[in-house]
């Protein structure tokens, strides 16, 4: 193809060559394609393929040795960590490295309503089916100025299993623990309208009437997004607010020191933080069985976690960059990867 012509002479010299295969979260695809483009431009001898086959599928393929790294919307489970990693040197493990933060927006499409304030309890009631009309007292109380129709609420959730749902239900389960008693899971636990993928949810909300749904904020497009109550204030999602809550979250306990899985602070009351976020991870070996591949992966993830990589992802995929502190932590872990 025209764009794959031989590299020009003045291209930055790079000694890296080879093919790197990764797989995982489809939501990460846009960011990955941007990173891949950036990395391949700098290293013309390298081809990277990222397959948006789903977080679970990606982790499974990586664990079985089918790919060199995985992209995942959630960190590895303890069972996964306990097992063998076929790509890694026998006996060594893999680590979760955050690569970006993606706020989850609550999107809605209701005639005559442009702005919507909502708290976790009400949101939980809407999505569990306890609140069924837009002019329900609970919503009206939060939005005294809005003209809410007396129409049925059509709440759209993901029909496919996804990390977005897991983070959304995790948020509701923690922030509205009295209302939302289901545990966090990839599968949405209540009935309602389901749609496949982020774009499916966005399309359903766009094309339907009196709709509400949740989706990765980067895909919200022209749709109105709701503000979440944090403490006493209503917070709209912003990259900064998302990064803020991540910065305030501890690492998951009982893990290896170099595993940067984050235990997100959903219950925050700091109005500078937007707690409905998702952190995406790259999963890589500590020590690769094939050292050459290890070198490639290391270089690639280093690029991802660099300031340049983070900017690229922000521009191309609309995700929130890691804080400088997290970037540094990731770089430190990567330095030990072989």
Site for other proteins in 301-330 (CB under 8 A): 312, 315-318
The SS3 of residue 6 is: coil
How many other CB atoms are found less than 10 A from the CB of residue 235? 22
CB of 94 to other proteins, least distance (A): 15
The full DSSP string for 218-265 is GG-TTSEEPEEEETTEEE---HHHHHHHHHTPPBPSSS-TT---B---
CB of 328 to other proteins, least distance (A): 26
Segment lying near other proteins (by CB under 8 A), choices 210-218, 225-233, 255-263, 282-290: 210-218
CB of 159 to other proteins, least distance (A): 5
CA atoms within 13 A on the CB side of 23: 15
Pick the binder of other proteins from 18, 149, 192, 248 (CB under 8 A).
192
Q: Which of residues 14-73 bind other proteins (CB under 8 A)?
A: 19, 21, 23, 26-27, 29-31, 33-34, 36-38, 40-41, 47, 49-57, 59-61, 64-67
Pick the binder of other proteins from 102, 210, 265, 310 (CB under 8 A).
210
Distance of alpha carbon 27 from alpha carbon 197, whole angstroms = 9
By CB under 8 A, residue 152 contacts other proteins:
yes
By CB under 8 A, residue 286 contacts other proteins:
no
Q: What share of the chain is helix, strand, coil (3-state, %, to 5)?
A: 35, 20, 40
Segment lying near other proteins (by CB under 8 A), choices 152-160, 169-177, 249-257, 288-296: 152-160
Binding pattern for the stretch 214-253 against other proteins, x by CB under 8 A and - elsewhere: ----xx-x--------------------------------
By CB under 8 A, residue 199 contacts other proteins:
yes
Distance of alpha carbon 331 from alpha carbon 323, whole angstroms = 12
Distance of alpha carbon 212 from alpha carbon 154, whole angstroms = 6
How many other CB atoms are found less than 10 A from the CB of residue 6? 7
Segment lying near other proteins (by CB under 8 A), choices 201-209, 224-232, 245-253, 321-329: 201-209
CB of 248 to other proteins, least distance (A): 26
Pairing state of beta strands 117-118 and 154-158? unpaired
């Amino acid at each position: 193809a025209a764009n794959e012509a031989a590299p020009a002479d003045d291209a930055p010299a790079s000694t890296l060559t080879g093919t790197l295969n990764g797989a995982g979260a489809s939501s990460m695809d846009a960011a990955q394609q941007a990173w891949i483009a950036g990395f391949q431009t700098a290293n013309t001898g390298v081809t990277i393929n990222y397959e948006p086959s789903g977080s679970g599928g990606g982790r499974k393929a990586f664990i079985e040795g089918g790919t060199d790294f995985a992209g995942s919307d959630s960190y590895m489970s303890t069972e996964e960590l306990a097992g063998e990693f076929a790509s890694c040197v026998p006996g060594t493990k893999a680590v979760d490295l955050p690569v970006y933060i993606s706020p989850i927006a609550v999107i809605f499409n209701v005639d005559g309503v442009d702005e919507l304030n909502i708290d976790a309890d009400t949101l939980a009631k809407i999505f569990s089916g306890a609140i069924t009309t837009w002019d329900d007292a609970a919503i009206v109380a939060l939005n005294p100025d809005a003209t809410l129709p007396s129409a049925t609420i059509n709440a759209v959730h993901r029909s496919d299993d996804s990390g977005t749902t897991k983070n959304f239900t995790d948020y509701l389960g923690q922030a509205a623990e009295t209302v939302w008693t289901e545990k966090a899971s990839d599968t949405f636990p209540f009935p309602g309208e389901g749609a496949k993928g982020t774009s499916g949810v966005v399309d359903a909300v766009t094309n339907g009437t009196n709709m509400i749904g949740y989706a990765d904020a980067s895909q919200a497009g022209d749709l109105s997004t709701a503000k979440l109550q944090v403490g006493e204030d209503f917070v709209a999602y912003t990259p900064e607010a998302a990064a803020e809550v991540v910065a305030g979250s501890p690492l998951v306990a009982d893990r290896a020191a170099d595993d940067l899985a984050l235990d997100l602070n959903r219950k925050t009351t700091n109005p500078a933080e937007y707690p409905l976020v998702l952190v995406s991870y790259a999963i890589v070996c500590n020590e690769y069985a094939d050292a050459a591949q290890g070198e490639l992966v290391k270089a690639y993830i280093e690029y991802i976690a660099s300031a340049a990589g983070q900017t690229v992802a922000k521009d191309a995929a609309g995700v929130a960059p890691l804080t400088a502190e997290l970037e540094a932590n990731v770089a430190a872990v990567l330095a030990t990867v072989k």
